[in-house]
Structure 1
Amino acid sequence: MSMSLAVAVLLLGVADSMVGSYFVLFVTEIVGLTPLQTGVFVSIHGAGGILIAWLAGRGFDRRPARGYAAASMLCGGVALWLMTVITSYAWLILLAVTLLATLAAAFPQLFALARQSVGDDREAGRAVPLLRSVWSLAWAAGPLIGATVRAVAGFPAILRSAGVVLAVAAVWVLVAVPRPGPHRPSGLPGGEPVAKVPRAATILLTTGITLFFTAMFAASVAMPLFVTRELGQTDSSVGVLFSVCAAVEVVAALLLAAVPAHISQRLVILTGMGGFVFFFALTVLAHDMTLLVAGQVVRGISIAVVGAAGIRWFQDVMAPATGRATTLFANATTAGMVLAGIVGGAAVALLGYTGTLLLCGAVTVVATIAFALGTATHAGRPPPAATPARRPLPRPRGPAGNEARSPADRS
């Protein structure tokens, strides 16, 4: 894995987490948006990001380049600066579907660059988990940096500081990240055919990932209130729980890079999803911090596994369309976040905090089933990119002048 790419992912993650942790507070307390206006803004921004990221992914597959990632981060940085001076809601909406939405392409573009730079071999299987651990580390540090900036200079300074970080990241990508290798439109290295994923399988895979992250984000809405209001824990305990989860995510993603290549990635992902169901069970059964902390350990492992192994799975089964594969996974995550805003708020109002967590557990079960069905066609063999390409050796001539058949030919 290129260390320059790790630095780029770290910078993007820090900027993203600085803004993401305080974005709602900024637009409501500083800009003055109502809850309805905020919901519309977030939904439109998410939809615009999905579209722009998809277009960038298709462009990357046609001609791999660093410019997509750099441009998306630079546009995002400009958008954050403009948000601190724009007061018109109409202009904010326009910003949400243009410059700000462009930032959604940065994450999948960096991971597509990582896959393209190492090629379709075993190194690719290690690069994604390692970069995912860097992303988790950034999200562990970013909110603390944002809190410090807010205490010193106020809310607008968070967005401006994040904008500067994004601009630095954009320049870094263009200067330090190696140019991606040539595109291989005809197939995988060695002339292997490209795996064609059936449309039904693609829908099931995407649905599974979307529902998983819907449950994750919706639970993040209910968890703090469940811990403080249902269990009577202190506000600081919520911070402890989320810190435990973030730390476990980093370690789990690093360990995932050491998983042997012959271990089924399908099994790894489904185990992660199943573990997420177990997290909800531990949480609703908790009466004190003991089970809550244990649940966050399981949660951190599950998020790391699905987040890292899931990207690799999409890249493998859709090879060599690396840009579209990574973007499809990222867009499924974004769609889950958008759905969670609606589902989480409505569920808390109708079902309460415990009921919302149980609903999220049920959604995760459906996500696991959908992903299992979507991957069933690939369960019997490794994804095409999991086997490194080998250059064919010249075959000896047999007694009759014909080429001797190798053991692989006879199998």
Structure 2
Amino acid sequence: MTTDASVTRSPLSPRSLLPLASICVPIGIAGALTMPFLALFLSDEVHASSAALGAFMLVSPLAGLIASTLIGRLSDSRAIRRNILVAGALAGALGAVVFAMVRDYWVLLAVSITLVAISSCLLAQMFAYTRQSLERGGNTSKASFGVSIMRTLISVAWVGGPPLAALLVSETGFEGLYFAAAALFLVVALMSARMPELGLQPRAERETGGGTVRRQIVFAAAGLVLLQGGSALGVNAMPLFITDVLHGTTGDAGLVLGLCAALEIPLILWFGSLATRFDQHRIVLLGGSFALLYHTGILLTGAVWHVAVVQVLSATAIAAVMGVGLTYFQSLAPDRPGFATTLYANTLTVGIMLSGPLLGLARELGFRTAYLMSLVLAALGVVSLFLGRTRRVTSD
């Protein structure tokens, strides 16, 4: 059993990061295995109609958003974050077992809005636990870099997870895929149970903040929703843009998206290092500016290789906005890591939901227009982030 004393070592030593990574990696792989193939599972295995599929894909993330928000608030008011990780992992394991064995649409929907929704808190709670653990180690300035390392591990999981999922489906069917996910969730539960419960922040720290911080949080949340909505729209439209507009192949689309994911990994670490020395709000704002450049560049492309070249802009924007954005949210509410991290995660969920109808509109207008819509969303997001900057108070 791990004791509290283990958390007092250097916060970025391998000895302190390895237990956190042992929770982070299986969470990331479980999500990378199951999320990309959910629509295919519902269509081919459950034989859901188009309307039923759409309803499932809307209701499920909504339930996850609500559950994560409530659990995030609970985790900040009681010293139970470690237990939440255990319970969320067990819920995920049980939900995955049901998905492996049952093919009834209504049963799966019920499981999705209960067990799977509860397990959706894992990523946010893991990041919150990571920051709190590293801050307890005595080096607050390095905690954000430690969170960036965990965020990088999630990106690595998403590089290898989908191909592994495709292999499992082809060799073992969806039963093997979901049983593998259940096993990963059990590993998360076991490793979380071995971690210490960190407790709550001291009362004096929890009372800090005020109207300025609330204003920053509101504008930051709105800005991240818009930026991540634009990013999600661009990613979802990419295969269709390459095949329908640029007359490339699906293989070209896969290579382009894989290139972006590979470029993100070192950039997340680099921006994470910068976040320990420079203002995090400015880094996120810089990432939004790169998003503007990326969407503008895509609008001007005329060949697949053009799209590949500008992926460095996309990777830079994603690394700054999604990587440093997480630690920026945590810095706005340091006494409520569960709330801050869950709010950040929810901006991604809402952004993805926002991108869905816009992708349908782009199907009617032409897929190049998806990037015009993404550009507008990114511009509004940058404006919102700018309005949320810290204002200097001058005296006469």
Select the residue among 378, 381, 387 that pairs with 1:367: 381
Hey, what does 1:293 align to over in structure 2?
308
User: 1:281-324 CA deviation, whole Å, 9 max, x = no partner?
Assistant: 22222222332112222212211211121111111111211110
Query: What is the match of residue 331 of structure 2?
Result: 316
Q: Which residue of 2 aligns with 1:185?
A: 203
Which residue in 1 is equivalent to 2:244?
229
- Give the stretch that moved more between structures: 324-333 or 60-69: 60-69
Letter in 2 for 1:361: L
- C-alpha distance in 1 between matches for 2:204 and 2:56: 41
Q: Following the alignment from structure 1 to structure 2, what is the Cα–Cα distance between the partners of residues 380 and 229?
A: 50
Counterparts in 2 of 1:12-411, with a 5 A limit?
Answer: 12-64=27-79, 65-119=81-135, 121-175=140-194, 177-187=195-205, 193-194=208-209, 197=212, 199-259=214-274, 261-344=276-359, 346-374=360-388, 376=389, 378=390, 380=392
Q: Partner amino acid for 1:333?
A: L
- Name the stretch that deviates more: 120-129 or 26-35: 120-129
Distance 1:256 1:307 in 2: 10
Assess if the C-alpha contact under 8 Å between 2:76 and 2:200 holds in 1: no
1:260 deviates by: 6.0
Report the Cα distance in structure 2 between the residues aligned to 1:98 and 1:136, rounded to whole angstroms.
Answer: 27
- Is there any run of 5+ residues in structure 1 with no aligned partner, and where? 382-411
- Take 1:4 and 1:72, find their aligned partners in 2: how far apart are those partners? 18
The answer to whether the Cα contact below 8 Å between 1:133 and 1:253 also exists between their aligned partners in 2 is: yes
Partner of 1:393: none
| RMSD between superposed Cα atoms in Å | 1.9
Aligned counterpart, 2:3: none
Shift of the 91–351 alpha-carbon distance from structure 1 to 2, 3 Å rule, reads: same
Residues 278, 10 of structure 1: CA spacing in aligned structure 2 closer, same or farther, 3 A cutoff?
same
The percentage of aligned residue pairs carrying the same residue is 25
2:78–2:199 contact (8 Å) kept in structure 1: no
Are the equivalent residues in 2 in contact too, given 1:252–1:301 (CA < 8 A)?
A: yes
- Report the 3-state secondary structure (helix = DSSP H, G, I; strand = E; otherwise coil) of the residue aligned with 2:48: coil
Structure ID, larger Rg: 1
Q: Aligned partners of 2:172 and 2:179: how far apart in 1? A: 11
Give the drift of 1:220: 1.9
The AA in structure 2 aligned to 1:186 is: A
Residue pair 1:24, 1:38 contacting (<8 A) in 2 also: yes
* Deviation, structure 1 residue 52: 1.1
String of CA shifts for 1:13-35, please: whole Å, max 9, x gaps: 11101111211111111111122
Query: Would the alpha carbon gap of residues 72 and 196 (structure 1) be closer, same or farther in structure 2, given more than 3 Å must change?
Result: farther
CA distance in 2, matches of 1:305, 1:25: 32
Structure-2 change in CA distance of 1:57 and 1:197 (3 Å): farther
Report if aligned partners of 2:275, 2:324 keep a CA contact under 8 Å in 1: no
List runs of 5+ in structure 2 lacking aligned partners: 1-11
Letter of the structure 2 residue corresponding to residue 41 of structure 1: F
Structure 1 equivalent of residue 7 of structure 2: none
- Structure 1 residues 260, 106: CA separation in 2 closer, same or farther (over 3 Å shift)? closer
CA distance 1:359–1:373, change in 2 (3 Å): same
1:385 aligned residue = none
- State the TM-score, normalized to the length of structure 2: 0.89
Aligned partners of 1:334, 1:107: CA distance in 2, in Å? Answer: 13
Name the count of aligned residue pairs: 374
1:75, 1:99 within 8 Å by CA — same for their partners in 2? yes
Q: Deviation at 1:93?
A: 2.2
| CA shift for structure 1 position 343 | 2.5
Per the normalisation by structure 1, the TM-score is 0.86
Tell me by how many angstroms 1:350 deviates.
2.8
Looking at structure 2, the residues matched to 166 and 261 of structure 1 have their Cα atoms a distance apart, in angstroms, of: 32
